[in-house]
Amino acid sequence: MQLVVARIGRAHGIKGEVTVEVRTDEPELRLGPGAVLATDPASAGPLTIETGRVHSGRLLLRFEGVRDRTGAEALRNTLLIAEIDPDEQPEDEGEYYDHQLIDLDVVTRDGQQVGRITEIAHLPTQDLFVVERPDGGEVLVPFVEQIVTEIDLEEQRAVIDPPPGLIDDRDEIAASPDEIAASPDEIAASRDEA
């Protein structure tokens, strides 16, 4: 199975180094010296990583055969693709590769069918499941343990415990029965007394 692990950015310096936008949680494994990566467009590769280093918080790579800025600039926006075993698991328990989560059925703890995961959105603060509803709509589910309570790869499902309003905008947080029966003036007066 092929996974995009990085995108080549601009050239850095004059000796063929490039910046890369890392798209893997395991850059030391996928983007280390000696790694041979396929490319998109295919005509740019395959590329073998010769050296890698971090400079000012950015990963810089140099590829075999690329010795100057012109060669490095020619690779700009090329995607780097690693070949991985589809049965490979991340090292840390509770972590998953995107391809393991795509197409999982999403159900609530009480068994209500929510939909199917079609995409994982990687945002700076958290990851989101993009879930296609049976009616064709979409819902975004934060991939946090308070909401996603179980991932069962054997059963091909993700179990969620959504807060009110997450999967159905008609759900509302219920007010207490006393507040429903009380007038707005009575509610304000009871809060002032407290």
Q: Which residues of 24-51 are buried (b: 16+ CB within 10 A; e: fewer)?
A: bebbeebbeeebebbbeeeebbebebbe
Q: What is the pLDDT along the chain (194 residues), one digit of tens a residue?
A: 787 888 999 999 999 999 998 877 778 778 889 999 999 999 988 999 999 999 888 899 999 999 999 999 999 999 999 887 766 666 667 778 777 888 999 999 988 899 999 988 877 788 889 999 999 889 999 999 899 999 988 899 999 999 888 877 544 444 444 444 444 455 455 445 54
Task: Note the pTM of the prediction, 2 decimals.
Answer: 0.56
